[in-house]
Amino acid sequence: MQSGSSPEPLLKVHGLDAGFDAGPVLFGIDLEIAAGELIALVGANGAGKSTLLGVLSGLVRATSGTVTLSGEDVTNARPEALVRQGVAHVPQGRRLFGTMSVEKNLLLGAFLRRDKDVRADLTRVLDHFPALKDKLAREAGTLSGGEQQMVAIGRGMMARPKLLMVDELSLGLAPKVVDRLIDVMRDINQEGMALLLVEQDVLVALDAANRAYVLENGRVALSGFAAEVKDDPGVRKAYLGL
């Protein structure tokens, strides 16, 4: 429990239970993210990582416990309210609108915004992903997997979130593309946006993150500085296969 030195973390999850009709998935989750942190969330398939992201973006109901954003209770707030409060979710498998243009997909991320900076933010996103600059008019579904992931991340950034949650950044992507995306994640983080990375490529996530949480069967099994988590014998055996 290394965080929490500042009075109010950006995100605080306390004693969270959640699940579906088929049964509970998360049990007593405690998690904190300070402004500007880069956090890795790792664990086996079925451990509850995506369900936790679902709760944090208002798609899955919490049955117990609380979620607070900068001290304000947002437990079971609606998805659009959470986006307005600064939480954006880049879903697993990208979920782009394949027959819409890249530009429209990106602008959809700013759907709730009424400020005048949307165009400027689009430019900023394209500076992070220059490969998309000459593809704005293309149908998103015709892009390569790596470019589609850039659009999905860019769409999340367009909401101008305080916390960007990225589910399975590396899924189906070439090693070189993963490295490039991780570099962009670091850059975005340096600019002050907190990031929560859910990754199956545990090594990639732990190398990029400040701190990490390990989920096992719906519970936080381990948390700490990423370097410590990486050296944990249990983690090395169960996730890194070393």
Partner 1 sequence: MSAAQLELRGVTKRFGGVAAVDGVNFAVEKGEIVGIIGPNGAGKTTLLNCISGVYRLDGGDIRWQGASIAGMAPHRVASLGIGRTFQIVRPFGSMTVRENAAIGALFGNADGRRGVREAFALADEVLELVGLRAKASHPVSSLTIPDRKRLEVARAVATRPQLLLLDEVMAGLNNVEIDEALDMVRAVHATGVTVLLIEHVMRVIVGVCRRAVVLDFGQVLAEGEPEVVLRDERVIKAYLGERYAKRLQS
Q: How far apart are CA 26 and CA 29, in angstroms?
A: 7
Residue 15 binds partner 1, judged by CB under 8 A: no
In the stretch 98-137, what mask flags binding to partner 1 with x, by CB under 8 A? ----------------------------------------
In the stretch 28-57, what mask flags binding to partner 1 with x, by CB under 8 A? --------------x-xxx-----------
CB of 29 to partner 1, least distance (A): 19
CB of 209 to partner 1, least distance (A): 16
Residue 18 near residue 61 (C-beta atoms within 8 A) = yes
CB of 84 to partner 1, least distance (A): 31
Nearer to partner 1, 61 or 237 (CB): 237
CB of 145 to partner 1, least distance (A): 4
Residue 76 near residue 17 (C-beta atoms within 8 A) = no
Q: How many residues interact with partner 1 (rule CB under 8 A)?
A: 29
Q: What length does the chain have?
A: 242
97: its two tokens = 């609108």
SS3 26: strand
In SS3 terms, 38-106 reads as: EEEEEECCCCCHHHHHHHHCCCCCEEEEEEEECCEECCCCCHHHHHHHCEEEECCCCCCCCCCEHHHHH
Sign of the dihedral through C-alpha 123, 127, 129, 132:
positive
Nearer to partner 1, 37 or 201 (CB): 201
Residue 218 binds partner 1, judged by CB under 8 A: no
Chain CA centroid to CA 189, Å: 12
Pick the stretch among 26-34, 79-87, 167-175, 188-196 that binds partner 1 (CB under 8 A). 167-175
Sign of the dihedral through C-alpha 20, 22, 25, 27:
positive
Query: Which one among 118, 184, 221, 240 touches partner 1, defined by CB under 8 A?
Result: 240
Burial code of 66-95, b = ≥16 C-beta within 10 A, e = fewer? Answer: ebbbeeeebbbbeeeebbebbbbbbbbebe
Query: Which one among 144, 187, 227, 231 touches partner 1, defined by CB under 8 A?
Result: 144
Pick the stretch among 29-37, 108-116, 194-202, 225-233 that binds partner 1 (CB under 8 A). 194-202
Nearer to partner 1, 3 or 51 (CB): 51
Interacting residues toward partner 1 by CB under 8 A: 22, 42, 44-46, 92, 144-147, 168, 171-177, 179-180, 200-203, 237-241
